[in-house]
Every structure is written in structure tokens, then in C-alpha cells.
Amino acid sequence: MGLEAGRADDPPRGPLRLLEQTLATAPGLSRALGDVVAAALPLGGRIDPLGLRDGVERALLAAAPLERASDAVARGNQKVFAEIGREAARFLETCANDWTFDALRIVRFTETLRPGPPPHGQGYLRRAFTHFYEARFAADPKARAELILLANLEIGFHEQTRLQPEIQAALEAALPDPETLRRRLLETLFPQAALLLRLRLGLPAPCAGRTSSTGRWTGSATNSAGSSATWSPRP
């Protein structure tokens, strides 16, 4: 997928276009955004549904879902190569050169694998390599094909069970942290919120300020969208 160049803090345009199209056609989203904007108006919200939609898009992409999904897939691949790849190489070195069926050899090989079901046991790998070995010496082509299919299914079941955490992480990578999403949307709705309103909404409080000659504390801060907020709360 080609990605267009942009600012360092901008999300990639390819995923952004896809997200824009999805949000633009999502049933009920426009009504929900309108309800949010209407609820924010009494609190000083000054943004329209289209502006809020843009904030939603950026909040969703800020969690870098593609990178997180890619990392999860990479971890899963490493887990597969470290276990199944190693055992397959060992099987080929130990058993692939046999010209006659040696029951003791395949038993000794599989005994080095942990008993029990996945994710911690390797019982299905034991069965799979046994069936691969039996297929090597099967005289009937149909029986050979069935043994190879069964062995692949057993390895596949073991692999998918072992990789369930990484599979789940990749599928859920597009879901942002709810609290982070809430904070970003509130900052989008109230880019110039006064201090007391920011505290009420749970937005970050200003980190620097000064006391004026009237005894009022004043200061300014910049939110994540780049908008400057200035406040002067009454005593």
C-alpha cells in the first residue's frame, strides 16, 4: 500500500482515506455525532459534526493500529519459527533419510516434545510428526494423502492455539483505549475550555502560570490539536 508523504505528526493518508470512507458511510454515525455536538453546546462546545468527525478519525488513528497489528503478527511469526520451524528441521534431520519404517526412531523423536494440549503442551505436534512419518512409507496414495492432510491439520490446530494472544492482539489493534479516545474527543470539543471546565471534564490541567496583579492566576496551554487555551478563573 502506497502512503503519501505528510507531516511527522499526521497519520498515513492511505489508512486515513479508508477510515474516512468507513466513517462517512457508517449507519447512525452522523446522528450520534450530532447528538454529541448538541450535548456539548451548553458547556461551551464550539464545533460542528464534520469537525467532530475529523477528531474521531484522528483519535482512532493516533493509536497506530497498523503498527500494533504488524507487531502482533511479527511476534506470532517469531513464535512459530522458534517452535514449529525448529522441530520441523529436527524431524527432517532425524527421520527424513529413513528407507524403511522405524517405529522406535519416530517414538524417540516425539518423546522429546512436551505432552499435553497447546498452548503449553506439544501433543498435537507429536501426532503430526508421527503421521508425516507414516505417510512417508504408506503404499496407498489415498492413505498417504490423508495422513499428510491430518498432520497439517494437527500442526495448524497447535499453531493457532499457541498464537491466540497474538491473533487477538492483531484483530483488536484498531480499537483505541476508551479513556484515551474520550480525552481526545473532549479536547476536540473544548479546545479553549476554562480551567474549571477542563477539570470537570477530566482534561489535563495547565502546567504553568502566574498570578496577576489582581490576585487571579492566569496561564495558557496548548492541547493535542495545537489550539491554545487561555484562562483566568475567578477567585
pTM of the model: 0.55
Average pLDDT across the chain, whole number = 74
pLDDT at site 42: 72
pLDDT at site 233: 38
SS3 91: helix
Mean pLDDT of 70-85: 91
Q: How far apart are CA 174 and CA 66, in angstroms?
A: 8
Domain ranges in the chain are 9-62, 76-169
Pairing of strands 228-231, 217-222: antiparallel
List the beta bridge partners of residue 229: 221
Mean pLDDT of 190-201: 62
pLDDT at site 218: 42
- How many percent of the chain have pLDDT more than 90? 38
Model confidence pLDDT, tens digit, residues 92-137: 999 989 999 999 999 999 999 999 999 999 999 999 999 999 999 9
pLDDT at site 105: 96
- Residue closest to 155 by CA, chosen among 103, 220, 48, 80: 80
- Residue closest to 18 by CA, chosen among 35, 30, 1: 1
- Residue closest to 64 by CA, chosen among 155, 139, 173: 173
